[in-house]
Amino acid sequence: MKDHGVDATSQTANIRPDLIRKKRDGGQLSDDEIKAFIQAVKEKTIQDSQTGAMLMAICLNGMVSAEIKALTREMMSSGEVMEWPDEWKDFMVDKHSTGGVGDKVSLVLAPALAACGCKVPMISGRGLAHTGGTLDKLESIPGFKVEQSREQVKRILDSVGCCIVGQTETLVPADRVLYALRDITSTVDSLPLVTGSIISKKGAESLSALVLDVKFGRAAICKDFESATELAQMLVEAGNGLGIRTAAVLSGMNSTIGRCVGNSVEVIESLETLKGNGPDDLMELVTTQGGLLLVMTGLVSDLSEGRKQISEAVVGGAALSKFQAMMEAQGVNSDTAQLLCSTNADYYSVLRKAKHQLELKAPADGIVLEIDGLALAQVLHRLGAGRSKAGEPVNHSVGAVLLVSIGQRVTKGDPWLRLHYEDLALTPDQRNHLESALTVGADKKIQTQQKHTLVEKILPEKYQ
């Protein structure tokens, strides 16, 4: 048998079993061995069973930093790597969130960054399980086209400064294969594989700076701060390894972001935020992530100034103008875009409204101690707001609007949630699940109407 490191890249029939065995037994794969594996995945010269075995070996034994760097680089290089005009290269930025409930940050952040002089080729995803997808939200706007060619993306960036699009077939094709197999081999939560998947796609965008929103809590992939920190450090190191200035924001994800969850209702809340009426927690995430990107591109000297500029772009209306221009550039009728961005817009004259609304009432007097975002998202998912398998349709009109905030004092019988649903009515079990999401009580530690902050930490700490 040949030495593990010899001729690893010349294997074209399929991958050598001894590479899988090496990882299974806890060995470290060389750069050439990782290149051979990804090449075989891309060229479909490896059996799915072998790919699954390698994924499981990585999941069980982990990867050292050098392996993660090589994996990320080879995945990025498996397809097209985008190229930009020289005058843009220092200002190409994007963000990625590990997923949450009511996470509409991208819809506000992309146009705010464009208003501050950045170019934002935001490649986003669709929702799966309880986590909503940015593309699904935007597609609730009639005419919005998330599929754009490379040349169309360049034209939109040139004229507007930002676009939000789906992943093309030619971008990181190896990830598309691995992602599907991770789903059926229970290796989705492997941190090296998560890192390779996220950073390879951002690397293929040829970014100068990237910010990662790594969430922790009940409604997040990472259930605790420690595991979120481990993932954040891995992501930052991998991003920097590709030459992208990378930072991470660790933020809590127990409740919801903002007050709206669902596709159409989140678009409405995003538009209201762009009109200066955004909730504090959403604005905290937008200004922190945007501020970090302005620091990393050199447009501002520190995070405080970066937050200020992003806030001014949102509150002052510059970001709203960019969002309107982006909608029109991505297929939305100009009259429709103008109506949505107008003061006191009649949103439901454009967006689809659910047939039914139901208000849930507070069960007792007291202070709102907790709102379980995961429970809320799970019920909405079953009512049609989300999908269980890739490719399934979603109902854009299904959603929920919170009528109370954590720390707010309520009286028994006060409405706390407005549910938007279609013909699929709530089952008794779903109603119980929703009602259990609200915790009302007396807690002296919680100040009534306290400011609810989400950002726990920023990495690297020099940006804190």
Supply the DSSP string of 24-71, one letter for each residue: HTTPPPPHHHHHHHHHHHHHT-S-HHHHHHHHHHHHHH---HHHHHHH
Do 231 and 377 sit in the same domain of this protein?
no
CA–centroid distance for 326 within its chain: 19
Residue 143 sits in the same domain as residue 275 = yes
Distance CA 368, CA 365 (A): 9
pLDDT tens digits, 220-255: 889 999 999 999 999 999 999 999 999 999 999 999
| Structural domain boundaries enclosing 293 | 86-343+456-463
Q: Are 459 and 245 a contacting pair, CB within 8 Å?
A: no
Domain membership of residue 76 (yes or no) is: no
| 286 and 383 within one domain | no
Whether pLDDT at 36 is above 90: yes
Query: Do 332 and 377 have their domain in common?
Result: no
Instruction: Kindly report the average pLDDT of the chain as a whole number.
Output: 91
pLDDT of 73 strictly over 90: yes
**Neighbouring residues of 432: CB distance < 8 A, sequence distance ≥ 6:** none
> Do both 96 and 51 map to the same domain?
no
Work out the angle at residue 79's Cα, subtended by the Cα atoms of residues 146 and 26, and round it to the nearest 5 degrees.
115
Question: 3-class SS at 241?
Answer: helix
Q: Are strands 415-421 and 399-402 parallel, antiparallel or unpaired?
A: antiparallel
pLDDT digits (tens, 9 = 90+) for 101-153: 999 999 999 999 999 999 999 998 765 555 668 999 999 999 999 999 999 99
Instruction: Map residue 366 onto helix, strand or coil.
Output: strand
Predicted local distance difference test score (pLDDT) of residue 374: 92
Q: Count of domains in the chain? A: 3
Query: Which tens digit of pLDDT belongs to each residue from 292-339?
Result: 999 999 999 999 999 999 999 999 999 999 999 999 999 999 999 999
Global pTM exceeds 0.85? yes
pLDDT band at 443 (very low <50, low <70, confident <90, very high): low
> What is the tens place of the pLDDT at every residue in 361-405?
999 999 999 999 999 999 998 898 776 666 677 788 999 999 999
Q: CA 201 to CA 161: how far, in whole Å? A: 20
Whether 10 is in a domain gets the answer no
At 125 the pLDDT is 74
Phi, psi of 194 (to 5 degrees): -60, -45
Percentage of the chain surpassing pLDDT 70? 92
> Do 137 and 283 fall within a single domain?
yes
pLDDT at 464: 78
Q: Mean pLDDT, to the nearest integer, of 27-51? A: 95
pLDDT at 133: 81
In a domain, 213, yes or no: yes
Q: Does residue 5 fall inside a structural domain?
A: no
Q: Does position 167 have pLDDT exceeding 90, yes or no?
A: no
Q: Are residues 374 and 317 in the same domain?
A: no
Block residue for tokens 């709530």: 426
Catalytic machinery residues: 96, 175, 182, 197, 201
Q: What is the mean pLDDT of residues 285-291?
A: 98
DSSP letter (8 states) at residue 90: G
